[in-house]
Amino acid sequence: MKILIKSGRVIDPANNVDDIRDILIDNTRIARVGKGLNNGADKTIDAAGKIVMPGLIDMHVHLREPGREDKETIATGTQAALHGGVTTVLAMPNTIPAIDSAENARLIASIIRDTARIQVLVCGAITKGRLGEELVDLARLKKEGIAAISDDGSSVDSPDILFKAMKKARELRIPVICHCEDKTMSAGGVMNLGANSTRLGLRGISNESEYKRVQRDLSIAQRTKCSVHIAHISCAESVEIVAKAKKKGVKVTCETAPHYFSLTEEAVLDYDTNKKMNPPLRTAGDRDAVRQGLADGVIDVIASDHAPHTVAEKEIEFDRAEFGVTGLETEFGVSATYLVHTGLLDWAGLCRKMALNPARILGIDKGTLSAGSDADIVIVDPDAEWAVKIADFASKSRNSCFLNERLKGKVIKTIYRGTVAYSAD
Amino acid sequence: MSEPVTWNKKDLLGLEYLSAQEIAFILDTADSFKEVTTREIKKVPALRGKTVVNLFYEPSTRTRISFELAAKRLSADVINIAAETSSIKKGETLIDTGRNIEALKADIIVMRHNYSGAANMLARHLNISVVNAGDGWHEHPTQALLDIFTLREKLGNIEGRSVTIVGDIAHSRVARSNIWGLTKLGAKVTVCAPRMLIPVGIEAMGVSVTNNIDEALKEADAVNVLRMQFERDEQGAFPKQMEYFKKFGITEERLRRAKPELIVMHPGPINRGIEMSSEVADCPQSVILDQVTNGIAVRMAALFLVSQARDIKNEDPH
Amino acid sequence: MKEKSVVLDRETVSRSLVRMAHEIIEKNKGVENLCLVGIRTRGVFIANRLAENIKKIEGKDVPAGTLDITLYRDDLTLIAYQPVVHKTEIDFDISGKDVVLVDDVLYSGRTIRAALDALIDLGRPNTIQLAVLIDRGHRELPIRPDYVGKNIPTAKDETVQVRLSESDGKDEVVIMEKNE
């Protein structure tokens, strides 16, 4: 099967391409990229006026399986990914059981093999049960193919354990993803700490509880020379600390999520639990710092932190509702709307944050449209406007913080390994 | 002769959400209801055939009784649901509980809840009226309305007056509702508490902050003394009781240094000898019992107005 | 609505109220046990004028109070505007008294029904009598006035507007009809 994607604006920063090109797919791989290609494709996709990019890589998602299949499964989560133009995800290990042993890694691998609709990479835990006490057997997990380690959802509180984990990870060349939160400071908090949490009578989560932990984790990274990736940066101080560390040569990359550069804490003023996540939405100043960090290149990656929850866990009192929002299906639209259409990033810049950089951090040969690479491709209409509707979600859950929002920039087709796996029409 | 619509909200969730005009309108309406409460027969048929459900997730005798009396004086039927006896313990969500009450064809839910924002959430999901009887640390609108009603009665007006609120500001819904209401009506509000009990960014609500009680009382026309709930001190943020009294307790000596006509308020129940001395609680400037009496008139007004707003909204005027 | 005709002017209003005052005194054989209660808004002004007239005739003060019937209306859910609750201001005891209830226009009788309920909640009068400036007919309840300024037969789609100098700048009664 040969598919020709005709006349699209091809964005491929790995090869410095931003031009009208044709792409010829032969079975699962990209055969050629060039102008005026016309050699006997079985099927032609007219991409005139559209943008053609590498399939997006979302390195921070919670697929909930095994354990919480009522929220999401690997099948539904990866289908949602396809709707969002995502062809590779990194699944976080806070499943039940946690991915903290070879056995559990094999368990999730078998579900992925049977049900995943895209490439699912697995992130292993740092500590047993993600309790921060006993290190997992990293070498064995590595053998089972895990792509990174993280105790996401929790920070490793003990600096000793984190030090050992990073040392080992460096030996094994596994990236460590840090969820930075000092729970002794944030405990009980449900939104950003400040005038608005006071106004709403809710317990707050300070910037400090995040950035102090970023600082600590980076100092351990510096000592161990381990590659670390800071997850979901939400506040100005964290951006600044990472920027400084990068200047000093610490091997650090970091990500933010679409809600941190599009929304502020004002969104929770009506106690909307679909705006409750951890870290919380911050002030306009923090949002602007995150935007600037993306524009400056301090923040390398946009990842959704897709965190599906059931209605019963969300349509309850704000204090009791679960943290987290879905994001796979909206991350492209939100990023296009708030970063590209505002002029903060060009399309190539967006492509780096959402495909190329995550691929490099995870050490996978993806995120490009080079001839010979996997034909993971997304075709988007850069100017199409659309409204986020529950009815359109493929995810099992509906806890999006962008419900009913109008976005500009829409995924038209998602091609995974040479097959059109999602089509908006 | 049709009067202009001056109240069109089906719910009373907090004073933050009301304009100065709407607050004044409730107070004026309460004024009329106060006359009813002075009659031999303290009952009017305004809510005859309506059902008011008091849904209390936190124990509260005073507020519940005040609402119950208010509803009964309007001829409504009243049902009391306490958290212990309802299906809450069985894991039913608040919205489901609310929908069940709605299915019973009740007209108004008066809710007390330990979580901030619970009343907002319930109101969003129901067509029937929700009156917030206190949610977490967020708001307790009828308490603030009765405080302001009492002040207005004693002072004649609120604009330009200075009101000091003393006590655990951080965890007080009474403080927040009073701050919203008083500042909207043009009063100058000062909050006074130990530093640990002043929440971050409270200045953004338009108040001045001090931890010196004498300074806080100097210019005040009224002082609203909050109950110190020592039993709820989860973070060890509270000072010792005697130490608190020494630094923040309202005593006769402190009153002598304040304006002679300073009004002393307290939402009750009072901890005598902790928040204020017994002499102060019983002094002529104390309006604590007037607050209790006025509470009924204010709650009658609140129940009447939300009920009318709903009826009017549902009715096609043509 | 537009004005169809003026049925009473300043002088005829004034004359009617003088006559009604005489009738009230005559029927009650004096004013010893009498009090007046006006229904908000214009009933109050009429009650006050009747009290003044009675004083001129008899030389005695008759207590006059104000009744707000909003909370007693049976049509609270049927009206499209927000009724504003005002105070009832009757600073005398009505128990045992001969109460003359005063309103501007008598129509369906529902206002008077509500006023009777409201009065009875305030005490137990000896008698309650009804005085209205205009009776325009179309009663829906078994209620009849004891003192009438003027009977004005009207069609159902007409309305009667009583204007008084206290609230409207001048005294007159007009019939309004719907625009074509």
**Domain coordinates in residue numbering, chain B:** 15-140+293-314, 141-292
User: Do C and A share at least 3 CB pairs under 8 Å?
Assistant: no
Per-residue pLDDT of chain A (425 residues; tens, 9 = 90+): 999 999 999 999 999 999 999 999 999 999 999 999 987 899 999 999 999 999 999 999 999 999 999 999 999 999 999 999 999 999 999 999 999 999 999 999 999 999 999 999 999 999 999 999 999 999 999 999 999 999 999 999 999 999 999 999 999 999 999 999 999 999 899 999 999 999 999 999 999 999 999 999 999 999 999 999 999 999 999 999 999 999 999 999 999 999 999 999 999 999 999 999 999 999 999 999 999 999 999 999 999 999 999 999 999 999 999 999 999 999 999 999 999 999 999 999 999 999 999 999 999 999 999 999 999 999 999 999 999 999 999 999 999 999 999 999 999 999 999 999 999 97
Whether residue B223 contacts residue B286, with contact meaning beta carbons closer than 8 Å, is answered with: no
Above 70 in pLDDT, residue B142? Answer: yes
Query: Which CATH number goes with the domain that contains A347?
Result: 3.20.20.140
Q: What angle do CA A105, A108, A113 make, to 5 degrees?
A: 120
In this structure, whether the domain defined by B15-140+293-314 belongs to CATH 3.40.50.1370 is answered with yes
Strands B51-56 and B108-113: parallel
**Nearest CB to B39; choose among C76, C86, C121:** C121
Of the candidates A155, A78, A148, the one whose C-alpha atom is nearest the C-alpha of residue A119 is A78
Closest chain A residue to the Cα of B124, Cα to Cα: A270
Name the least confident of A320-334, A396-410, B238-252, C66-80: C66-80
* Mean pLDDT, rounded, of chain C: 92
Q: Give the number of other CB atoms < 10 A from CB of residue A225.
A: 12
Does the structure show a pLDDT above 60 at B314?
A: no
Q: Show which subunits contact A, needing at least 3 CB pairs below 8 angstroms.
A: B
A193: nearest CB among B170, B200, B202 = B200
Alpha-carbon distances of A221 from A149, A176, A218, rounded to whole Å: 14, 9, 5
pLDDT band at C81 (very low <50, low <70, confident <90, very high): low
- The answer to whether residue B115 neighbours chain A at the CB level (below 8 Å) is yes
Q: Is the CB of B116 less than 8 angstroms away from the CB of A316? A: no
Q: Show residues of chain C in contact with B315, CB under 8 Å.
A: 77-80
Tens-digit pLDDT profile for residues B11-59: 999 999 999 999 999 999 999 999 998 888 889 999 999 999 999 999 8
**Tens of pLDDT, residues B192-213:** 999 999 999 999 999 999 999 9
Distance CA B279, CA A176 (A): 65
The alpha-carbon gap from A374 to the nearest alpha carbon of chain B, in Å, equals: 48
For chain B, say whether C154 makes contact (Cβ under 8 Å).
Answer: no
Contact C85 B301 (CB under 8 A): yes
Q: Which of B1, B33, B309 is opposite residue C85, by nearest beta carbon?
A: B33
Residue ranges making up the domain that contains A155:
55-362
Say what the pLDDT of residue B240 is: 85
Give yes or no for residue C83 having a pLDDT over 80: no
The fold of the B141-292 domain, in CATH, is Rossmann fold (3.40.50)
The position carrying tokens 């507020």 is B63
Calculate mean pLDDT across residues C32-37.
96
Interval B268-285 mean pLDDT: 94
- Give CA separation, A206 vs A159, A194, A195, B138, C25, in Å: 21, 8, 12, 19, 80
B268 in A contact zone (CB under 8 Å) = no
| pLDDT at residue C1, rounded to an integer | 83
Q: Which of A58, A305, A376, A381 is catalytic?
A: A305
- Compute the distance between CA of residue B107 and CA of residue B130 in angstroms, rounded to an integer: 9
- Residues in chain B whose beta carbon is closer than 8 A to a beta carbon of chain C? 1-8, 29, 31-33, 35-36, 39-41, 43-46, 74, 301, 304, 308-309, 311-312, 315, 317-318
Residue A259 domain-assigned? Answer: yes
Q: For each of the domains in chain C, give its residue range(s) and CATH number, in order of start.
A: 12-156 (3.40.50.2020)
State mean pLDDT over C39-43: 93
Q: What is the pLDDT of residue B51?
A: 98
pLDDT at residue B1, as a whole number:
40
Nearest beta carbon to residue A195 from set B116, B117, B201: B201
Give me the number of domains chain A comprises: 1
